[in-house]
C-alpha cells in the first residue's frame, strides 16, 4: 500500500511565486542601495543624527571627525549608488558587510551609550540603531547569495 499526501494549495499562484523569487533580490539590492545613499548623504551634509556616535566610536582613527564623517558618507553614497545600478556587486557587498560589522564597535567601545545601565539586553536608541544593522548584513548576504556564478 502506498501512502500519499495531498499537496497544499500554494498561497501564491506558481507564476507569481516565481516572479517574486526572481525580483525580490533586485528589490532588496535597490533598497539597500537607497538606504546607503540616504545615510551617506546625511553624513556628507553634516545633518546626520549619528555624527557624535560615529566620531566617538572611531576616536582611535587618526583622521579628524570633520573629515572622517563626510568621507564615510561619500563611501556610503558611492557604494549605495553601485548597488542601485547593479555594478561591481561582489566587491561592494563585501566591503559593505565589513563596514556594517564595523558598526558593532559601538557595542564594545561605547557600551554605556549602547546599553541601559550596562545591561546588554536593554538597548538604548543608539544600541537599537546599531543592532538593526544585523538585518542590513543579512540583506547584503542574501543579495550576494543570489548573484550568478562567476564566469571563468
Cβ proximity of 83 and 26 under 8 Å: no
Please report the pLDDT score of residue 21 as a whole number. Answer: 83
Which residues of the chain register pLDDT less than 50? none
Tens digits of residue pLDDT in 125-144: 999 999 999 999 999 999 99
Give whole-number Cα distances, 35 to 14, 18, 23, in Å. 31, 26, 18
Prediction pTM value: 0.83
pLDDT at 20: 80
For the chain, what is the mean pLDDT? 90
What gap in Å lies between CA 72 and CA 57, rounded to an integer?
Answer: 13
In this prediction, residue 12 carries a pLDDT of 56
Amino acid at each position: 500500500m502506498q501512502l500519499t499526501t495531498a499537496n497544499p494549495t500554494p498561497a501564491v499562484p506558481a507564476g507569481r511565486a516565481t516572479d517574486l523569487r526572481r525580483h525580490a533580490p533586485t528589490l532588496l539590492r535597490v533598497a539597500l542601495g537607497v538606504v546607503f545613499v540616504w545615510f551617506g548623504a546625511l553624513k556628507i551634509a553634516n545633518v546626520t543624527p549619528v555624527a557624535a556616535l560615529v566620531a566617538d566610536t572611531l576616536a582611535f582613527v587618526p583622521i579628524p571627525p570633520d573629515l572622517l564623517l563626510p568621507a564615510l558618507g561619500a563611501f556610503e553614497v558611492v557604494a549605495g549608488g553601485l548597488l542601485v545600478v547593479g555594478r561591481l556587486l561582489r566587491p561592494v557587498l563585501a566591503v559593505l558587510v565589513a563596514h556594517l560589522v564595523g558598526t558593532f564597535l559601538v557595542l564594545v567601545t561605547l557600551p554605556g551609550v549602547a546599553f541601559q545601565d550596562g545591561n546588554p539586553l536593554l538597548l538604548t536608541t543608539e544600541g537599537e540603531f546599531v543592532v538593526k544593522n544585523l538585518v542590513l548584513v543579512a540583506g547584503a548576504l542574501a543579495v550576494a547569495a543570489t548573484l550568478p556564478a562567476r564566469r571563468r
